[in-house]
Structure formats: structure tokens, C-alpha cells
Amino acid sequence: MDTFNADVECVLRKQKLFFDSGITRDVKFRQSALEKLAASIKKHEKNIYKALYQDLRKSEFESLATEVSGVIDEISFLRKRIGKWSKPRRCPVHINNKPASGRLYPEPLGSVLIFSAWNYPFNLCMTPFVGALAAGNCVVVKPADQAPATAAVIIKIIEECFDQEYVAAMPGGSDHAACLLKHKFDYIFYTGGEHAGRKVMHAAAEHLTPVTLELGGKSPCVVEPDAKLKVAAKRIVWGKFLNAGQTCVAPDYLFVHKSIKTALLREMRKVIEQFYGQDPQQSPDYPRIINSRHFQRLTGLIGEKKCFCGGESDPDDLYLAPTIIENVSSEDPVMQEEIFGPVLPVMTWDDFDEVLDFINSRPKPLAMYYFSKKCRHLDRLLSRTSAGGMCVNETVTHLTNPAMPFGGVGNSGMGAYHGKFSFDTFTHLKPVLNKYTFMDFPLRYAPYAKKLKILRFICKY
């Protein structure tokens, strides 16, 4: 660990010198870096797919759809716009400051530390990394050690594209992460669980380092009696069992009106078979649990509960079937923590106030989903509850829109990214007031005798 600590110190010294040289502030330099990164990702595309299959048994389709394409799109979106976003822009000045002009200067922060998560190990590492590069920062990347094959590909891509004085990839486990947090960075971006997020925030506070925390939470999926059941069933099943449920914005529990519960669950069971066949373990499109520790945790959450469907598991294959549990109460273990796996507990409601009261009794979720044709309770749900983001008659896909920020609120995180919001996250907007000298009002200067009435008149106070 002493060697690793020395390596980090050396990298940060080099990065400070490189950043202070001003090279990264040049827009063309940043665009070139992003182009080089995109070319390397495309060059290693097959290796990325193999690594994701090795770590999570993801199909090539799912790997492209949820991991690689989003990163390439983010690079293209930012590369085309950073010239405009990096320019100083005028802002109005208050009458008290006139005669003067005001400008806002976007400037990079310095050295940024990015912690990735294992569930989407390529996307959740590279997407914030792209934002940090676009904003003109030097970067230290810590890939997820729980997805070692993908981490190895990420490190290869970074080392192929960049010198350590600009971008450094730091592999290793929790000890290495703790060592990184002892050092002073200008910004920390963390994606992962709430427990580790608290540790990151505590460590950052020692250096007064700002953070973005992308965490999670129990994201509710509320279904009204007028919902279009066939469509709702497909979209809920897709969003829940994508990546075997290991998605931070997956529907964590289903809150369905009691009059349609049975009909909806039967439709969802049909959809699961349509997607993955009678035996999902044999499906090439159904991923696996990341490791045995998470597998044991998930099977423990199911416990002795009677499953409406699913429940089958194979510890040797890290396979857990798409599982729906009904007759769940708010006190059950499966309702006490974020599930982060292919287990969907079902609760029912009769009066919509029950929905509002229940959601508000829990920590604020990262996402919320609402299914209804007429959406007669949508305004109440929007105005009376809080969540990081929301979809109506859809799940998960709100985070794919670069014009929308993606992030949490309360226990589900702080800060946001994607598109322009990534650029803003890794940028300081420096205000500069330019006071003209052709006029100099004496009012603000001492002595202040006989000036108070004039000041009150100007301030209308």
C-alpha cells in the first residue's frame, strides 16, 4: 500500500503541473482527447463485450444498448458543444455596480477522482470520465474491482490514449480506494451504494472537496387501475430484470391498485416467459449476479416468501430467476433495503393517499415510475413526493436523454450529470466584474455623514 500511495502522490504532482500549464483549457485539445477516446473504444469494442459477458454474463445486445452506445453518444454530444459552452458569457450587473460589465468564465476544476460502480462497469466509469475531460480536467479513474475483466479493458483503453500526467487509471480494491481518498482532489465523483457514499463524503470533507454522489434507493413503480396492462407489463419487466435487476434505477417495488393486481402479475409472468423462455437460466439474454456475496444477500431477501413466479436459483452459476413476490408488507426484509437484483416485491393500494403517504415515509428514491392512461393522480404524485427522476408509462429510459440531468436527491444522491450537466458538474463558473473608470461615485466612500438617506432612497429601503 505504501507503493500505491507513492504512485498516487507522483501522479497528482504530475497532473498539477500538467493542468497548471494550461494545455487542458484549450478546446481543441479537449476535442482531440475525446476523439482519441472514441476511436479506442470502437477499436476495443469486441473486448468490451467479452469482458462484460465474463463479469455479468451480459449479451452483446445489452452491452451495446446499455454500456457502449451511451458512452459513444455522450462523447459525440459533448465534443460538438464544448466550444460554445467554454466561451465566457455576459451577465447583467446590478445598478449598484454600474458602470460595469459582467462575465461568467467557465473553467476546469483541476484533478478529478472518479469512482465507478460494478453493475454497469463500463458506462458508469466512462460517462462521468467523458464529462470531466470535456470540461478540461485531469482525471484519476478508479474502475470497479468487482468487475475485473471490464476494469482491465478500461485501463487498457486509458493507457493507450493518455499519459498519466493527464489521465491515470488506478486499479485495486477497497484498500486502494481508501488510499485515494486520503489525497487532495479538486472534485470527487462517486457511483455506488449509500454506505460507501457516506465514507466518500466523510473523506472529501477532510479536504473540503466537493462531491457528486450517485447512489440508489427503493424506486417505486405505481400502477393505476386504468393502466394499459400489456404495455405496462412489458416495460416494468424490462426495466426490472434488465441486467438481472442490478440497475440503480430499476423498479424496486411494485405498488399496484388492488383491483388489477392479479391481472397485471399474470401479464408480467407471460412477458417474462416471452423475454427469457420457460427456463431463463438457458436464455442468452439473461445476465448473472455479480458475485456470491450479492447472490446470498438476494436469496436471503426472498427467504421463505411464496413467489408468484421465479425464485429458482443456482449458486454455482450465480443465477437467480426473475422473481415476483406478492403479499409483501412494509416490514418484510425485502422492503428494508435496495434490492439491486431480480426480485420484485408487490404491494397493493386502494386510495391514492396510501401511495403518497407510503412513499413519503421512506427516504427519497433515485427514480419513480407511474403507469396510467388518464394520469389523473400524476400532478399529486409530482407535487407531493420527491425523487431523483421520474418516468410516466415507462421505466429507466429517462437517464438516456442528454438534455435531462441524471442524479439523486436526499439519500439517493447529490449532484447530476449527462450531457451539458456533466460539463457543468466538472466546471467552475467564475464570475468577473469589470468596473469602468470613467466615472467614480463618491457615495460608497467614507465619511458617511449625510449619506444614509441617499442610500435608503437608492436601495428603496
167-169: strand order across its sheet? 167-169, 138-142, 111-115, 187-191, 211-214, 413-414
Q: What do you get for the CA distance between the two ends of the chain, in Å?
A: 62
Residue 330: CB atoms within 10 A of its CB come to: 12
Residue 451 CA to chain centroid, in angstroms?
Answer: 54
Q: Report the relative pairing of strands 167-169 and 138-142 from DSSP bridges.
A: parallel
Distance CA 211, CA 422 (A): 13
Question: Residues 18-28, buried b or exposed e (16+ Cβ, 10 A)?
Answer: bbeeeebeebe
Q: Which three cell numbers stand for residue 312?
A: 429458482
* Nearest residue to 17 via CA among 132, 163, 176, 155: 163
Q: Report the relative pairing of strands 220-223 and 253-257 from DSSP bridges.
A: parallel
Catalytically annotated residue among 248, 267, 326, 338: 248
Catalytically annotated residue among 67, 214, 224, 326: 214
Q: What angle do CA 345, 146, 254 make, to 5 degrees?
A: 10
DSSP 8-state symbol, 365: P
Q: Exposed, middle or buried, 363 (CB in 10 Å: 0-12/13-18/19+)? A: middle
* Nearest residue to 341 via CA among 118, 96, 44, 92: 118
Cα separation values, 381 from 137, 229, 356, 395, Å: 39, 20, 7, 16
* Nearest residue to 167 via CA among 333, 283, 302, 24: 24
Distance CA 271, CA 269 (A): 5
H-helix or E-strand spanning residue 153: helix 148-161
Q: 3-class secondary structure for 101-123?
A: EEEEEEEECCEEEEECCCCCCCH
Q: What angle do CA 225, 228, 231 make, to 5 degrees?
A: 135
Q: Is 248 a catalytic residue?
A: yes
Q: Exposed, middle or buried, 340 (CB in 10 Å: 0-12/13-18/19+)? A: buried
Distance CA 123, CA 370 (A): 26
Cα separation values, 392 from 22, 63, 150, 264, 388, Å: 45, 25, 33, 17, 14
Among all residues, which ones are annotated catalytic?
214, 248
